[in-house]
Amino acid sequence: MCGRFVSSSKPDKIAEYFDASFAAEPLPVNFNVAPTNDVYGVVAAPDSGGEQREVQAFHWGLVPTWAKDTKIASKLINARAETIAEKPAFRSAFAKHRMIIPMDGFYEWKRDMETGEVTKAGKPVKQPFFIHTTTGEPLAVAGVWSTWRDKAQGPDAPWLHSCSVVTTSANETMSYVHNRMPVMLPESAWSAWLDPDNDDIEALQALLIPAPDDLLTMHPVSTAVNVVRNKDASLLDEVTPGAARDGQLPLG
Protein backbone atom coordinates (compact mmCIF):
# COMPACT_ATOMS: atom_id res chain seq x y z
CA MET A 1 0.00 0.00 0.00
CA CYS A 2 0.98 3.66 0.09
CA GLY A 3 -0.03 5.71 3.12
CA ARG A 4 2.55 8.51 3.38
CA PHE A 5 4.81 10.22 0.87
CA VAL A 6 7.03 13.23 0.28
CA SER A 7 6.16 16.23 -1.90
CA SER A 8 9.10 18.61 -1.72
CA SER A 9 9.69 19.68 -5.34
CA LYS A 10 8.74 23.20 -6.31
CA PRO A 11 5.73 23.59 -8.64
CA ASP A 12 7.79 24.88 -11.55
CA LYS A 13 10.14 21.92 -11.28
CA ILE A 14 7.23 19.47 -11.29
CA ALA A 15 5.72 21.14 -14.35
CA GLU A 16 9.08 21.12 -16.15
CA TYR A 17 9.78 17.47 -15.32
CA PHE A 18 6.41 16.31 -16.63
CA ASP A 19 6.28 18.76 -19.56
CA ALA A 20 3.12 20.29 -18.15
CA SER A 21 1.62 23.67 -17.38
CA PHE A 22 0.83 24.59 -13.77
CA ALA A 23 -2.89 25.06 -13.12
CA ALA A 24 -3.13 24.90 -9.32
CA GLU A 25 -2.60 27.04 -6.27
CA PRO A 26 0.86 26.18 -4.90
CA LEU A 27 0.76 23.66 -2.07
CA PRO A 28 3.09 23.77 0.96
CA VAL A 29 6.23 21.68 0.84
CA ASN A 30 5.33 18.53 2.75
CA PHE A 31 7.72 15.80 3.86
CA ASN A 32 4.89 13.76 5.35
CA VAL A 33 1.90 13.83 3.00
CA ALA A 34 -0.98 11.91 4.58
CA PRO A 35 -4.43 10.83 3.36
CA THR A 36 -6.92 13.73 3.17
CA ASN A 37 -4.07 16.15 2.36
CA ASP A 38 -4.13 17.98 -0.96
CA VAL A 39 -1.57 16.69 -3.47
CA TYR A 40 -0.34 17.53 -6.94
CA GLY A 41 -1.50 15.48 -9.89
CA VAL A 42 -0.54 15.55 -13.56
CA VAL A 43 -3.51 15.11 -15.90
CA ALA A 44 -4.35 15.62 -19.55
CA ALA A 45 -5.30 19.24 -20.12
CA PRO A 46 -9.02 19.70 -20.92
CA ASP A 47 -9.89 19.66 -24.63
CA SER A 48 -6.31 18.84 -25.62
CA GLY A 49 -6.94 15.28 -26.75
CA GLY A 50 -4.24 14.17 -24.36
CA GLU A 51 -1.63 16.25 -26.20
CA GLN A 52 -1.05 18.68 -23.32
CA ARG A 53 -0.65 18.18 -19.56
CA GLU A 54 -1.55 20.20 -16.50
CA VAL A 55 -0.54 20.03 -12.87
CA GLN A 56 -3.64 20.33 -10.68
CA ALA A 57 -4.43 19.85 -6.99
CA PHE A 58 -6.42 16.88 -5.67
CA HIS A 59 -7.72 15.64 -2.33
CA TRP A 60 -5.95 12.36 -1.48
CA GLY A 61 -8.73 9.83 -0.93
CA LEU A 62 -11.08 9.15 -3.83
CA VAL A 63 -14.71 10.23 -3.58
CA PRO A 64 -16.63 8.53 -6.44
CA THR A 65 -19.25 10.57 -8.26
CA TRP A 66 -22.00 8.37 -6.77
CA ALA A 67 -20.91 8.78 -3.13
CA LYS A 68 -23.44 10.32 -0.74
CA ASP A 69 -20.71 12.11 1.23
CA THR A 70 -16.93 12.31 1.55
CA LYS A 71 -16.57 9.77 4.39
CA ILE A 72 -15.64 7.04 1.91
CA ALA A 73 -12.44 8.91 0.94
CA SER A 74 -10.38 7.56 3.85
CA LYS A 75 -11.01 4.01 2.60
CA LEU A 76 -10.04 4.77 -1.00
CA ILE A 77 -6.52 6.17 -0.78
CA ASN A 78 -5.16 3.19 -2.75
CA ALA A 79 -6.51 1.26 -5.75
CA ARG A 80 -5.18 -2.25 -6.37
CA ALA A 81 -3.93 -2.73 -9.93
CA GLU A 82 -5.31 -6.27 -10.01
CA THR A 83 -8.94 -5.16 -9.47
CA ILE A 84 -9.03 -1.51 -10.53
CA ALA A 85 -10.94 -2.23 -13.75
CA GLU A 86 -13.74 -4.08 -11.93
CA LYS A 87 -14.19 -2.36 -8.56
CA PRO A 88 -17.21 0.01 -8.64
CA ALA A 89 -15.26 2.71 -6.78
CA PHE A 90 -12.46 2.79 -9.36
CA ARG A 91 -13.55 1.36 -12.71
CA SER A 92 -14.95 4.63 -14.10
CA ALA A 93 -11.91 6.61 -13.00
CA PHE A 94 -9.61 3.97 -14.46
CA ALA A 95 -11.45 4.13 -17.77
CA LYS A 96 -11.39 7.92 -18.20
CA HIS A 97 -9.68 9.75 -15.32
CA ARG A 98 -6.09 8.61 -15.02
CA MET A 99 -3.31 10.75 -13.59
CA ILE A 100 0.30 10.80 -12.43
CA ILE A 101 1.01 11.69 -8.81
CA PRO A 102 4.52 13.20 -8.47
CA MET A 103 6.37 11.97 -5.38
CA ASP A 104 9.86 12.68 -4.11
CA GLY A 105 9.74 9.41 -2.22
CA PHE A 106 7.42 7.58 0.13
CA TYR A 107 7.44 5.81 3.47
CA GLU A 108 6.79 2.23 4.43
CA TRP A 109 7.00 0.40 7.76
CA LYS A 110 8.73 -2.92 8.48
CA ARG A 111 7.94 -5.08 11.51
CA ASP A 112 10.97 -6.32 13.46
CA MET A 113 10.35 -10.06 13.15
CA GLU A 114 13.51 -10.98 15.12
CA THR A 115 12.67 -9.24 18.39
CA GLY A 116 8.88 -9.42 18.18
CA GLU A 117 8.89 -6.13 20.11
CA VAL A 118 5.48 -4.57 20.77
CA THR A 119 4.23 -1.16 21.88
CA LYS A 120 2.54 -0.42 25.20
CA ALA A 121 -0.76 -0.99 23.40
CA GLY A 122 0.38 -4.46 22.35
CA LYS A 123 0.89 -3.62 18.68
CA PRO A 124 4.02 -4.70 16.79
CA VAL A 125 6.83 -2.13 16.74
CA LYS A 126 7.57 -1.14 13.16
CA GLN A 127 10.60 0.66 11.72
CA PRO A 128 9.76 3.32 9.10
CA PHE A 129 11.83 3.52 5.92
CA PHE A 130 12.12 6.33 3.37
CA ILE A 131 12.06 4.95 -0.18
CA HIS A 132 13.18 6.99 -3.19
CA THR A 133 14.86 6.74 -6.58
CA THR A 134 18.56 5.99 -6.74
CA THR A 135 18.99 9.05 -9.01
CA GLY A 136 17.04 11.55 -6.90
CA GLU A 137 14.50 12.07 -9.68
CA PRO A 138 10.79 12.28 -8.82
CA LEU A 139 8.58 9.23 -8.98
CA ALA A 140 5.78 9.23 -11.55
CA VAL A 141 3.18 7.26 -9.61
CA ALA A 142 0.04 6.04 -11.36
CA GLY A 143 -3.21 7.38 -9.96
CA VAL A 144 -6.88 7.82 -10.78
CA TRP A 145 -9.13 10.76 -10.01
CA SER A 146 -12.77 11.71 -9.71
CA THR A 147 -15.00 14.76 -9.28
CA TRP A 148 -17.79 15.00 -6.71
CA ARG A 149 -20.09 17.59 -5.22
CA ASP A 150 -22.72 17.57 -2.51
CA LYS A 151 -26.06 17.42 -4.31
CA ALA A 152 -27.80 18.53 -1.12
CA GLN A 153 -26.18 21.94 -1.61
CA GLY A 154 -27.74 22.38 -5.03
CA PRO A 155 -26.29 22.91 -8.51
CA ASP A 156 -23.89 25.62 -7.31
CA ALA A 157 -22.09 23.36 -4.85
CA PRO A 158 -18.31 23.38 -5.34
CA TRP A 159 -16.61 20.44 -7.03
CA LEU A 160 -14.19 18.26 -5.08
CA HIS A 161 -11.36 16.73 -7.11
CA SER A 162 -9.99 13.63 -5.41
CA CYS A 163 -7.58 10.81 -6.21
CA SER A 164 -6.18 7.38 -5.32
CA VAL A 165 -2.71 5.90 -5.70
CA VAL A 166 -2.54 2.72 -7.79
CA THR A 167 -0.59 -0.08 -6.10
CA THR A 168 0.80 -3.41 -7.25
CA SER A 169 2.85 -6.28 -5.85
CA ALA A 170 6.28 -5.43 -4.49
CA ASN A 171 9.47 -5.86 -6.48
CA GLU A 172 12.50 -7.50 -4.86
CA THR A 173 13.74 -4.22 -3.37
CA MET A 174 10.40 -3.30 -1.80
CA SER A 175 9.69 -6.83 -0.57
CA TYR A 176 12.20 -6.20 2.23
CA VAL A 177 9.65 -3.93 3.93
CA HIS A 178 6.25 -4.66 2.36
CA ASN A 179 4.42 -6.88 -0.14
CA ARG A 180 2.86 -3.92 -2.03
CA MET A 181 4.20 -0.79 -3.69
CA PRO A 182 2.92 2.16 -5.74
CA VAL A 183 2.91 1.70 -9.52
CA MET A 184 5.72 3.81 -10.99
CA LEU A 185 5.34 4.70 -14.64
CA PRO A 186 8.35 5.12 -16.92
CA GLU A 187 8.32 8.21 -19.12
CA SER A 188 7.57 6.03 -22.14
CA ALA A 189 4.17 5.20 -20.59
CA TRP A 190 3.08 8.68 -19.52
CA SER A 191 1.23 9.66 -22.69
CA ALA A 192 -0.69 6.39 -22.99
CA TRP A 193 -1.66 6.46 -19.32
CA LEU A 194 -2.85 10.08 -19.35
CA ASP A 195 -4.72 9.97 -22.67
CA PRO A 196 -8.45 10.08 -21.75
CA ASP A 197 -9.33 8.65 -25.17
CA ASN A 198 -7.21 5.55 -24.60
CA ASP A 199 -9.79 2.85 -23.87
CA ASP A 200 -7.52 -0.17 -24.32
CA ILE A 201 -8.09 -1.59 -20.84
CA GLU A 202 -5.83 -4.57 -21.41
CA ALA A 203 -2.92 -2.37 -22.52
CA LEU A 204 -3.49 0.04 -19.63
CA GLN A 205 -3.47 -2.77 -17.09
CA ALA A 206 -0.24 -4.05 -18.61
CA LEU A 207 1.40 -0.82 -17.40
CA LEU A 208 0.51 -1.57 -13.78
CA ILE A 209 3.53 -3.68 -12.90
CA PRO A 210 6.24 -3.52 -10.23
CA ALA A 211 9.08 -1.09 -10.89
CA PRO A 212 12.52 -2.41 -11.87
CA ASP A 213 14.47 -3.67 -8.85
CA ASP A 214 17.25 -1.11 -9.35
CA LEU A 215 14.97 1.96 -9.45
CA LEU A 216 14.64 2.41 -5.69
CA THR A 217 16.77 2.62 -2.59
CA MET A 218 15.77 3.03 1.05
CA HIS A 219 17.00 3.82 4.54
CA PRO A 220 15.50 3.75 8.05
CA VAL A 221 14.11 7.01 9.42
CA SER A 222 12.71 8.29 12.69
CA THR A 223 9.33 7.19 13.97
CA ALA A 224 8.59 10.93 14.11
CA VAL A 225 7.06 10.30 10.68
CA ASN A 226 4.31 8.34 12.42
CA VAL A 227 2.85 11.65 13.64
CA VAL A 228 1.11 13.42 10.76
CA ARG A 229 1.74 16.91 12.14
CA ASN A 230 5.48 16.36 11.69
CA LYS A 231 6.20 17.53 8.15
CA ASP A 232 9.75 18.94 8.03
CA ALA A 233 12.81 17.76 6.12
CA SER A 234 14.41 16.12 9.17
CA LEU A 235 12.05 13.18 8.63
CA LEU A 236 14.32 12.08 5.78
CA ASP A 237 17.42 11.77 7.98
CA GLU A 238 18.78 8.25 8.21
CA VAL A 239 18.79 6.74 11.69
CA THR A 240 20.16 3.63 13.33
CA PRO A 241 17.48 0.92 13.03
CA GLY A 242 15.70 0.58 16.33
CA ALA A 243 16.87 3.97 17.59
CA ALA A 244 13.26 5.11 17.45
CA ARG A 245 12.84 3.69 20.94
CA ASP A 246 15.95 5.48 22.24
CA GLY A 247 15.59 9.05 21.04
CA GLN A 248 16.21 8.49 17.32
CA LEU A 249 19.94 8.81 16.71
CA PRO A 250 20.79 10.16 13.21
CA LEU A 251 23.64 8.49 11.40
CA GLY A 252 26.78 10.38 10.43
171 exposure class (CB count in 10 Å sphere: 0-12, 13-18, 19+): middle
First and final C-alpha spacing in the chain: 31
Does 163 qualify as catalytic in the annotation? no
Provide the 3-class DSSP secondary structure of residue 224.
helix
Run of H or E residues at 188 = helix 187-194
Does 108 qualify as catalytic in the annotation? yes
Find, among 132, 160, 142, 161, the residue nearest to 209 by Cα. 142
Q: Where are the beta strands (DSSP E) in 176-244?
A: 180-182, 216-220
Amino acid residing at 162: S
Choose, from 2, 16, 51, 163, the residue flagged as catalytic: 2
Residue 235 to residues 45, 103, 106, 156, 173, Cα–Cα distance (Å): 34, 15, 11, 41, 21
> What CA–CA distance (Å, rounded) separates 62 from 58?
9
> What CA–CA distance (Å, rounded) separates 199 from 121?
48
Residues 44, 194 contacting (CB under 8 angstroms): yes
Provide the 3-class DSSP secondary structure of residue 24.
coil
Choose, from 25, 51, 86, 108, the residue flagged as catalytic: 108
Residues 235, 224 contacting (CB under 8 angstroms): yes
The DSSP bridge partners found for residue 12 are none
Residues with catalytic annotation?
Answer: 2, 108
